[in-house]
Amino acid sequence: MKYSGQVAVRSSTGGLIMPLRSEYDRQLLFEHITDRVRRDRWVDVRAGRQHWRATLIEPDSHVPCSTCGEALTIAHASAGAQLCTRCRMRALH
């Protein structure tokens, strides 16, 4: 079952707490994360027991996703793994 509750997002320019009850909420969350990372270069996210930091990756860094191997533009890092947005969305439970 997917995580359902609230999620907190924090960056250098502010924070946001929002509900996370549906796929639509998840889509809005990751759109907000992407926008905020492009502006502030990092975002901390906490959803229940899950916590990760999303950071902007330099285009010439060639950092792969720990799960699918896709080259990262935004790394969602937690517990030594760096996930792409698609894999991070799937892992949110």
Write out pLDDT tens, residues 26-52.
Answer: 999 999 999 999 999 999 999 988 999
Query: C-alpha dihedral over 54, 58, 64, 70, to 10 degrees?
Result: 90
Question: At residue 4, does pLDDT exceed 80?
Answer: no
Adjacent-strand bridge partners of 53: 44, 77
Q: What is the DSSP letter of 65?
A: P
Question: At residue 1, does pLDDT exceed 50?
Answer: no
Read off the pTM.
0.87
> Domain range holding 54?
5-91
Question: At residue 59, does pLDDT exceed 90?
Answer: no
Element (H, E) at 76: strand 74-78
pLDDT value of residue 84: 96
pLDDT level of residue 75 (50, 70, 90 thresholds): very high
Number of domains in the chain: 1
Q: Which two tokens stand for residue 90?
A: 């799937």
